[in-house]
Amino acid sequence: MAKALPRSPLAQPLPRLLPVAGVRLGAVAAQIRYKDRTDLMMMEFVPGTTAAGVFTRSKCPGAPIDWSRAALAQGKARALVVNSGNANVFTGRAGVIATQISAAAAARVVHCPATEVFLASTGVIGEPLDAERISDAMPQLYEALSPEGWEDAARAIMTTDTFPKAATRQVEIGGKTVTLQGIAKGSGMIAPDMATMLGFVVTDAAISHDVLQSLLREGTERSFNAITVDSDTSTSDMVLVFATAQAGHDEITSLTDPALAAFREALDSLLLELALMVVRDGEGATKMFTVRVSGAVSDESAKKIALAVGNSPLVKTAIAGEDANWGRVVMAVGKSGEPANRDTLSVAIGNVWIARQGTVVEGYDETPVVAHMKGQDIDIQIDLGLANGHAQIWSCDLTHGYIDINGSYRS
């Protein structure tokens, strides 16, 4: 985390970020783990802000996950505090107290109940988090908050990330312009078991907690829950959405409200853009690949098969080696445990069908596939030929860089 890793070859530049009415944000160096590294980020929301969240499914989550899950129950938010030095995981009773101290410190400066403060942490596991550093830094951090603080915030939540991640959208609701803007971090332990990284989205739309929660849950399924780097799932991670209701339109309180259509689409594409940035920053990644599965017995089955392929070390190393090794794709389909029939299975790479109905396509010419494998974005298609279930996931290759990053002493 302290090491300066080379920037991912798949990195993307930050887009131009806009203020979002109703939120002020910023970051400071609170010396949580490393000296003089910006490691504490805060957002303050206007009263009336609604919240939605999805959390890691880990059975051993960190104390901040428990805290934010509880905060979400009442659906309102006044502040978010994120530290990127210590995950506050497996820290027992001391970890619970650390969350209380952190939330209380934010509540004091914002003048709100501590239960309206959301917390997130990422970093080392099993070491006590000294929450006094968060309390001590809080007044200075609060002074630093500004509607323009987005880039600082995006940088402050990075750990092994090699580039800051943010995305932005504007749509209309009831004749009013609404902004959605989000930041994310993550580069390893990115596995689809929600939520395996940190993502924070703020919008000035007015949307009730229930509706926002449904939108986030659906959008996550096809974005943050459809990416994988190494199949490992973090104990700490979450995606939160806050709606400040400052855009001036009538509050949306029903999922079937037609005024919601454009917003839903914008949120979905924003979540996907952020999620794909996480894959682009996959530890050691030099190529991205997508796996599209069709013809499965159900969408759920298709997703499991797609993830079996996306997580297979043999597929991931083949992609790193620019090897159109479709045999490994067949192997991964077979090991998924999902219904598949070798004699109806078809595989394409770069839109060239290599195998159809369980056997190599006659006269298959590898030339265009070899060319496709040399690119940065690899496309694998699998048709199971059984029914209509389909899914798409994104992953990255497995390279020496991954070993370098994770095989050295205590990251």
Catalytic residues: 196
Query: Which of 9, 15, 358, 375 is the binder for a second copy (CB under 8 A)?
Result: 358
| C-beta of residue 292 within 8 angstroms of C-beta of residue 310 | no
Binding mask 166-205 for a second copy (x = CB under 8 A): ----------------------xx-x-x------------
Structural element, H or E, at residue 153? helix 150-156
Task: Look at strands 352-356 and 359-360 and give their pairing.
Answer: antiparallel
Closest C-alpha among 4, 9, 122 to residue 397: 9
Instruction: Tell the smallest beta-carbon distance from residue 323 to a second copy (Å).
Output: 5
Structure tokens at 171: 């749509």
Query: Which of 174, 248, 339, 385 is the binder for a second copy (CB under 8 A)?
Result: 339
* CB-neighbour burial class of residue 164 (10 A; exposed 0-12, middle 13-18, buried 19+): buried
Structure tokens at 279: 């894959």
Q: Left if phi > 0, otherwise alpha if psi is -120 to 50, otherwise beta: which for 245?
A: left
Query: Which of 155, 165, 328, 390 is the binder for a second copy (CB under 8 A)?
Result: 328
234 binds a second copy (CB under 8 A): yes
DSSP 211: H
Tell me the DSSP string of 107-127: HHHHTS-GGGEEEEE-SBSSS
Of the listed pieces 3-11, 75-83, 289-297, 355-363, which binds a second copy according to CB under 8 A?
355-363
Report the binding-site residues for substrate. Answer: 159, 185, 196, 283, 406, 411
| C-beta of residue 188 within 8 angstroms of C-beta of residue 204 | no
Number of residues that bind a second copy (CB under 8 A): 71
Q: Give 209 or 328: the residue with its C-beta nearer to a second copy.
A: 328
332 binds a second copy (CB under 8 A): yes
Instruction: Tell the smallest beta-carbon distance from residue 285 to a second copy (Å).
Output: 13
75 binds a second copy (CB under 8 A): no
- Sign of the Cα torsion 74, 45, 254, 72 reads negative
Q: Give 130 or 273: the residue with its C-beta nearer to a second copy.
A: 130
Instruction: Tell the smallest beta-carbon distance from residue 150 to a second copy (Å).
Output: 30
Query: Which of 6, 9, 15, 126 is the binder for a second copy (CB under 8 A)?
Result: 126
